[in-house]
Amino acid sequence: MQILFFSTDLEMIDEFKHRHELDTAVPCYDIDTLLQELKRSKLSMLIADYDSIAHDLNKLIYADKLPQNTLVLERVPAIATGKMLISHGVKAYVNSRVTQIHFQQILETISADGIWTYPELTAALITKDKTKALSTEALELIENKLTPKECEVTHLVLEGFTNDAIASKLQITPRTVKAHVSAIFIKLHVNDRVSLVLLLK
């Protein structure tokens, strides 16, 4: 997969490419270059430096031209920004000083069509609509596809409960909860908790 790096900060691009051994990543310093590279390479991942290109990235988002596999970096990630980006199709939103280990996890998650966020953002995404009831369509979906116990686990996941907290509340083992959560993801065709929230809320 071709990696495109969108930023106007040349030092940032060089430092990030060196730190994460992305020698083949193609730098794009402006929106026109980025659009040309996106046309040239069908299977690409975009790494966008939000600190330098937020305006252009937001234009892509609102024009519905955001590449499917987009990772957004920001020096100081903000939960409000993360919620907006993830809700518009960004696959990962992280600190621009992300560690090598986390960066590898992010690449694997995006390659598997998942969504990767840092823990505080994940919690905020899961609990943002806690008071909002599920739509009739969402309720029908989970009732038709899931067992009663899986429905119960789904509601607790949507409320922001961790696997351990669900286990304690339902008086079952964490391993059983993990099995239920995996089954829920498979049956609803999602890869992670954030995708589940986006599907049902």
42-67 tens-digit pLDDT = 778 999 999 999 999 988 988 888 88
Q: What is the pLDDT of residue 128?
A: 57
Q: What is the pLDDT of residue 75?
A: 94
Domains of the chain plus CATH, in order, are: 2-117 (3.40.50.2300), 129-200 (1.10.10.10)
Three-state DSSP class for residue 148? helix
Q: What is the pLDDT of residue 200?
A: 84
Give the amino acid at 146: L
Label residue 64 left, alpha or beta by phi (over 0 means left) and psi (-120 to 50 means alpha). Answer: left
How do 69-74 and 26-28 pair as beta strands? unpaired
Q: Please state, in angstroms and rounded to a whole number, the distance separating the CA atoms of residues 197 and 201.
A: 6
Specify whether the CB–CB gap between 21 and 14 falls below 8 A.
no
Query: Could you say which residues of the chain have pLDDT below 70?
Result: 127-132
Q: What is the pLDDT of residue 131?
A: 44
Token pair 């051994």: residue: 21
Ranges assigned E (strand) in 50-115: 69-74, 92-95
Between helices 193-200 and 119-127, what is the axis angle to 10°? 20
